[in-house]
Homo-oligomer: A and B are copies of this chain.
Amino acid sequence: MHITDRLIEAIEAQNNPTVAGLDTRLEYIPEAFAKTFAPDGVWRFANAAEAILAYNLKLLEALRGLVPAVKVQVAYYEMYGVEGMRAFAETLRAAREMGFVTMADVKRNDIGATAQAYAMAYMGKTPMVEESAFSADYVTVNPYLGSDGIKPFLALCGEHGIFVLVKTSNPSSGELQDVAFGDGQTICERVGQLVSAWGSDIIGSHGYSAVGAVVGATYPEHGAALRKALPHTFFLVPGYGAQGATAAQLAGCFDSQGRGAIVNASRSLLLAWQKQNTQDFAQAAAQEALAMRTALREALKA
């Protein structure tokens, strides 16, 4: 099944365009839960990764049926070494088995031959071994190297998809992305056009391509302009919550039917237990996810 059709249908089944970002780090885990993995208080990569995986599994159980998709940010797993990468793989596997649409947020990029290795690692099978290393439904990629760094991923798009960085949510994203070329077009507009062209042959039955774009919620005018310019490009929208964007600010990333985007929340879910002053992090995340769903629904009605 076309991955973006699957994503759109999962969003509509739950009436919730939210992706839960599992940017889990040891510091985010309540002490009572964490200390079962380090009874002597000593953290090594192995027990840290174990605690993080266990935390993720609890969170996935709590978010099942409430949030259609899960995004796993690999940086927070690479930080815990080889054992962290095992927790990353196991988190993706568990999320897939529980029916979530999965996204590996890896922002990979390289020249063609090397991009091919990344594409196989996250979307395909490794030659000779014929197994999947870190399989995810979607992978994020960085466009700085141009088309031939993207093509190996495109070749595997259809049942899998990619989100290409177009306009990122961070404060300095405009340093390069907003600068105008001689013809007045900005880099992020130019990249948006490329993304649309790369995905033009892989459009699903709901009108959206398997090649999507990352568009930060923290820049509402960019979101609305890109939405208009790229009618077949699905948006992954980071920046909600901890990064400062509100539901109203990101409504422009959606189309007139309330489709076309999925909004990521990471820290606001992972740290909901602190805000709610409870040790039950899974229940707290579910409550926060419910509040976010309500906020998004209201913003999309308006």
Contacts and interface: CB of A to CB of B under 8 A. Distances in A.
Contacts of A194: 175
A39 interface: no
Contact of A127 (B27, B109, B146): B27
Nearest to A186: B181
A16 to B, nearest CB: 24
A48 interface: yes
B145 A44 contact: no
Contact of A81 (B75, B89, B148): B89
A87 to B, nearest CB: 9
Nearest to A191: B176
Given A108-B107, A111-B170, A133-B81, A25 B177 contact: no
A84 B169 CA distance: 32
A168 B147 CA distance: 12
Contact of A89 (B79, B82, B134, B146): B82
Interface in A103-143: 107-112, 114-115, 117-118, 120-121, 126-129, 131, 133-134, 142-143
Interface residues on A, range: 35 or more
A263 to B, nearest CB: 16
Nearest to A242: B113
Given A117-B78, A121-B75, A170-B148, A48 B133 contact: no
Number of copies: 2
Contacts of A182: 180-182, 184
Contacts of A133: 45, 78-81, 84
A127 B26 contact: yes
Interface of A: 23, 25-27, 43-45, 48, 73, 75-76, 78-82, 84-86, 89, 107-112, 114-115, 117-118, 120-121, 126-129, 131, 133-134, 142-149, 165, 168-177, 179-182, 184, 187, 190-191, 194, 238, 243
